Structure 1
Amino acid sequence: MNIKNILKYLIDNVEEMVIVGLTGGIATGKSSVSEMLQRRGLHIVDADLIARKVVEPGHPAYTKLRKEFGSEFFDANTGALDRTKLGDVVFNDAEKRRKLNSVLHPAIRWEMFLQIVKYILFGSHMIVLDTPLLIESGYHKILGTVIVVWCEDEVQINRLMLRDGLSKEDAAARIAAQLPIKKKMELATILIDNNGSKEELEQKVDALVRELNSRWTPILFRAGVYSLIYGLSMVFLKSSLTLFHIV
């Protein structure tokens, strides 16, 4: 099935499905919400998992990274990318970060698109697009529903310190390097307050699933999904052609 046939299928069947966005800040609990949604039967397209997949040996993005950054960032025995080592370098170097993103982002977008298509072909009526850069990449503009998971600054810092073994200063610096969570909250259609316990978050996710199911109507989301499919397919197709040296 070529890309034209896939797009035709999506357009013919678009009224039967919805794509919602899920995002948050580092250590706000986005991944926890994503996992809880998956356990409740929703299909998740996880950008973080995809980002790890596309840097595995054999992927075109992996080859381009070795060319751009050299073998020092790859394990001599397994060839695996040392994500921590590379991350520490690009965090403090804007030009290297730009080069990294120019390789990773097209590859990630293409894999995201393929997963969306797979779920649609399998008959999914609701897909969750889980990505930390949902707002920054502009996807919120073409999605009917955007969920932002948030917590207070001090809670976020403490969680990041505990999770990654960082000092308070380093944790604050990592958070400051991202788009402020309050900016993301301003663009949300649904906010998930994750200042409490895991049990409280489970209850909020139950309520979220009920709300998503009640919001889902073909007429309400039809235009948004048409725009999503067309916009993503054109961006993803162009990015993938460049990545695979076709154009």
Structure 2
Amino acid sequence: MSKKPSAVISTTTVLWLAMLEGMVLAPKALSEESKWSYTGNEGPAYWSTLDQDYLTCGQGKNQSPINLTNMVEGKLPEISLQYSGKATEVVNNGHTIQVNYAPGSTLELNNKKFELKQFHFHSPSENTIKGESFPLEAHFVHADENGNLAVLALMLKEGEENQALQPVWEKMPLDSGEKEALTTPINTADILPSSHAYYRFNGSLTTPPCSEGVRWLVLKDSVTISKEQLEKFNQSIPFDNNRPVQPVNARVIVQ
């Protein structure tokens, strides 16, 4: 997960980071011949065959998501969150619902700061905990100044309405390619449970190019989301948008 910064960064990684910043690009990795999907011949089982830049999806040894089990006890550092309400827009990109952020929200871990770029959702959850799947999983994607990524994952289970997410749900575009400006501040910290206890493992992006070297922090506690909110998400993304769990291999999951 903690891949050392290098002066040489792959073209696909640069393009992916640019997308995090909200730039509009037309790279080869997003061209017609390398489109990817969650179903059919462009689904997860075929990602590594769709583009040379996606080979890691099939050949990587530290791929995400995983089933978190057989955890090892360890002294994990506390997560320090300094989140603002500077969410700028909610986007339906055809793969997920994504909330983009302006600079100013950070996660600090081991005295290293990662800036929140966006958060998005997968239904059902991509990671599972001791074999348990959840109806929704949120990924809060952060990057440090060198482009190293840290993803804070939150599980959501059906229950009471999630009021902190309601401003996003009210603006959620139903059609792929649409986006809506967010004028109501989103208190990201309110979306999270009061306890920030977490599991940690080394992993990858869960979508092409499946780049490895990602710090994964999966919160132990879940929060609720209402049946109606789940139904609206499933109207906007009308298919399961979760990559199947990947082999853990020699990785250690620390708690």
Query: Normalized per residue, which structure has more helix?
Result: 1
Query: Normalized per residue, which structure has more strand?
Result: 2
TM-score, structure 1 length as denominator?
A: 0.27
Greater length-normalized contact order (CA 8 Å, ≥ 6 residues apart): 1
TM-score, structure 2 length as denominator?
A: 0.26
Which structure has the larger Rg? 1
